[in-house]
Amino acid sequence: MAEIGPITLLMLQHHAVVNKFLSAFEKISEKDTQKMKNSFKIFKWNLEKHFFIEETNFFTVANKDNKTELSQLNNLLKDHKDLMAIMDNLNEDLDRGKKPVTEILKELLFAHERRETDSFYPMLDKRLSEKEKKEIIKKTGDITLG
Protein backbone atom coordinates (compact mmCIF):
# COMPACT_ATOMS: atom_id res chain seq x y z
CA MET A 1 0.00 0.00 0.00
CA ALA A 2 1.26 3.47 -0.88
CA GLU A 3 2.26 5.89 1.85
CA ILE A 4 -0.48 8.33 2.84
CA GLY A 5 0.57 11.93 2.28
CA PRO A 6 0.12 14.71 4.85
CA ILE A 7 -2.89 16.32 3.15
CA THR A 8 -4.71 13.01 2.79
CA LEU A 9 -3.91 12.08 6.40
CA LEU A 10 -5.14 15.43 7.72
CA MET A 11 -8.39 15.19 5.83
CA LEU A 12 -8.93 11.58 6.92
CA GLN A 13 -8.71 12.93 10.48
CA HIS A 14 -11.17 15.72 9.64
CA HIS A 15 -13.62 13.19 8.21
CA ALA A 16 -13.35 11.12 11.38
CA VAL A 17 -14.30 14.16 13.50
CA VAL A 18 -17.29 15.03 11.29
CA ASN A 19 -18.42 11.39 11.32
CA LYS A 20 -18.13 11.29 15.12
CA PHE A 21 -20.67 14.14 15.36
CA LEU A 22 -23.00 12.37 12.93
CA SER A 23 -22.75 9.17 14.94
CA ALA A 24 -23.46 11.03 18.18
CA PHE A 25 -26.56 12.57 16.61
CA GLU A 26 -27.84 9.20 15.40
CA LYS A 27 -27.61 7.73 18.92
CA ILE A 28 -29.98 10.29 20.45
CA SER A 29 -33.53 9.21 21.07
CA GLU A 30 -36.27 10.88 19.06
CA LYS A 31 -38.00 11.53 22.38
CA ASP A 32 -35.24 13.95 23.42
CA THR A 33 -36.14 16.63 20.89
CA GLN A 34 -33.92 19.42 22.25
CA LYS A 35 -30.85 17.21 22.59
CA MET A 36 -31.49 15.88 19.09
CA LYS A 37 -31.69 19.44 17.65
CA ASN A 38 -28.55 20.55 19.50
CA SER A 39 -26.59 17.52 18.35
CA PHE A 40 -27.67 18.01 14.74
CA LYS A 41 -26.70 21.68 14.92
CA ILE A 42 -23.20 20.72 16.13
CA PHE A 43 -22.86 18.13 13.35
CA LYS A 44 -24.03 20.60 10.70
CA TRP A 45 -21.70 23.34 11.96
CA ASN A 46 -18.70 20.99 11.80
CA LEU A 47 -19.66 19.76 8.35
CA GLU A 48 -19.95 23.37 7.15
CA LYS A 49 -16.54 24.22 8.63
CA HIS A 50 -15.07 21.13 6.98
CA PHE A 51 -16.47 22.17 3.58
CA PHE A 52 -15.18 25.72 4.11
CA ILE A 53 -11.69 24.38 4.84
CA GLU A 54 -11.77 22.21 1.74
CA GLU A 55 -13.15 24.90 -0.56
CA THR A 56 -10.81 27.67 0.61
CA ASN A 57 -7.59 25.70 1.22
CA PHE A 58 -7.57 22.60 -0.95
CA PHE A 59 -9.94 23.12 -3.83
CA THR A 60 -8.29 26.47 -4.67
CA VAL A 61 -4.98 24.75 -5.44
CA ALA A 62 -6.50 22.28 -7.88
CA ASN A 63 -4.89 22.44 -11.30
CA LYS A 64 -7.79 23.61 -13.44
CA ASP A 65 -5.74 22.98 -16.60
CA ASN A 66 -5.63 19.28 -15.76
CA LYS A 67 -8.91 17.71 -16.98
CA THR A 68 -8.84 14.94 -14.37
CA GLU A 69 -8.26 17.33 -11.48
CA LEU A 70 -10.86 19.80 -12.75
CA SER A 71 -13.43 17.04 -13.19
CA GLN A 72 -12.81 15.73 -9.68
CA LEU A 73 -13.00 19.25 -8.26
CA ASN A 74 -16.33 19.90 -9.97
CA ASN A 75 -17.73 16.59 -8.68
CA LEU A 76 -16.59 17.36 -5.12
CA LEU A 77 -18.15 20.83 -5.24
CA LYS A 78 -21.40 19.32 -6.52
CA ASP A 79 -21.28 16.84 -3.62
CA HIS A 80 -20.97 19.74 -1.16
CA LYS A 81 -24.00 21.44 -2.66
CA ASP A 82 -26.01 18.19 -2.68
CA LEU A 83 -25.01 17.35 0.89
CA MET A 84 -26.06 20.76 2.17
CA ALA A 85 -29.42 20.41 0.40
CA ILE A 86 -29.90 17.07 2.17
CA MET A 87 -28.93 18.72 5.45
CA ASP A 88 -31.60 21.39 4.90
CA ASN A 89 -34.21 18.66 4.35
CA LEU A 90 -33.11 16.86 7.52
CA ASN A 91 -33.30 20.13 9.42
CA GLU A 92 -36.92 20.53 8.27
CA ASP A 93 -37.71 17.11 9.77
CA LEU A 94 -36.16 18.27 13.05
CA ASP A 95 -38.22 21.44 13.01
CA ARG A 96 -41.32 19.23 12.81
CA GLY A 97 -40.10 17.26 15.84
CA LYS A 98 -39.25 14.22 13.76
CA LYS A 99 -35.87 12.50 13.87
CA PRO A 100 -34.47 12.60 10.34
CA VAL A 101 -33.40 9.46 8.52
CA THR A 102 -29.72 9.88 7.68
CA GLU A 103 -29.16 6.96 5.29
CA ILE A 104 -29.09 9.03 2.08
CA LEU A 105 -26.87 11.63 3.74
CA LYS A 106 -24.44 8.97 4.94
CA GLU A 107 -24.36 7.24 1.56
CA LEU A 108 -23.38 10.45 -0.26
CA LEU A 109 -21.11 11.69 2.53
CA PHE A 110 -19.09 8.47 2.68
CA ALA A 111 -18.87 8.22 -1.13
CA HIS A 112 -17.70 11.85 -1.18
CA GLU A 113 -15.06 11.16 1.48
CA ARG A 114 -13.77 8.16 -0.50
CA ARG A 115 -13.43 10.26 -3.66
CA GLU A 116 -11.44 12.82 -1.74
CA THR A 117 -9.15 10.49 0.17
CA ASP A 118 -8.71 7.82 -2.52
CA SER A 119 -8.01 10.18 -5.39
CA PHE A 120 -8.20 13.98 -5.00
CA TYR A 121 -6.07 14.47 -1.89
CA PRO A 122 -3.43 11.90 -2.89
CA MET A 123 -3.19 13.77 -6.22
CA LEU A 124 -2.50 17.02 -4.33
CA ASP A 125 -0.02 15.25 -2.03
CA LYS A 126 1.84 14.03 -5.11
CA ARG A 127 1.77 17.28 -7.11
CA LEU A 128 2.29 20.01 -4.51
CA SER A 129 5.69 20.90 -3.11
CA GLU A 130 6.47 20.27 0.56
CA LYS A 131 6.33 24.04 1.15
CA GLU A 132 2.88 24.31 -0.47
CA LYS A 133 1.58 21.37 1.58
CA LYS A 134 2.90 22.88 4.82
CA GLU A 135 1.25 26.24 4.05
CA ILE A 136 -2.12 24.61 3.32
CA ILE A 137 -1.92 22.42 6.43
CA LYS A 138 -1.03 25.44 8.58
CA LYS A 139 -4.02 27.42 7.24
CA THR A 140 -6.25 24.40 7.84
CA GLY A 141 -5.12 24.28 11.47
CA ASP A 142 -6.41 27.81 12.00
CA ILE A 143 -9.98 26.44 11.74
CA THR A 144 -10.62 23.64 14.18
CA LEU A 145 -13.40 21.12 14.17
CA GLY A 146 -15.18 20.07 17.30
Q: What is the DSSP letter of 96?
A: T
- CA separation, residue 50 to residues 1, 32, 53, 115 (Å): 27, 27, 5, 15
State pLDDT tens for residues 53-73: 999 999 999 999 999 999 999
**1-24 mean pLDDT:** 91
Residue 1: pLDDT over 70: no
Give me the pLDDT at residue 63, please: 93
**Residue 44: CA count within 13 A, CB half-sphere:** 16
The phi and psi torsions of 102 (rounded to 5 degrees) equal -100, 10
Between 145 and 95, name the one with better pLDDT.
95
Residue 27: pLDDT over 90: yes
Domain boundaries, the chain: 67-135
Give me the pLDDT at residue 2, please: 60
Share of the chain above pLDDT 90, in %: 86
The model's pTM is 0.92
| Alpha carbon 62 to chain centroid, angstroms | 17
Length reported for the chain: 146
Residue 21: pLDDT over 90: yes
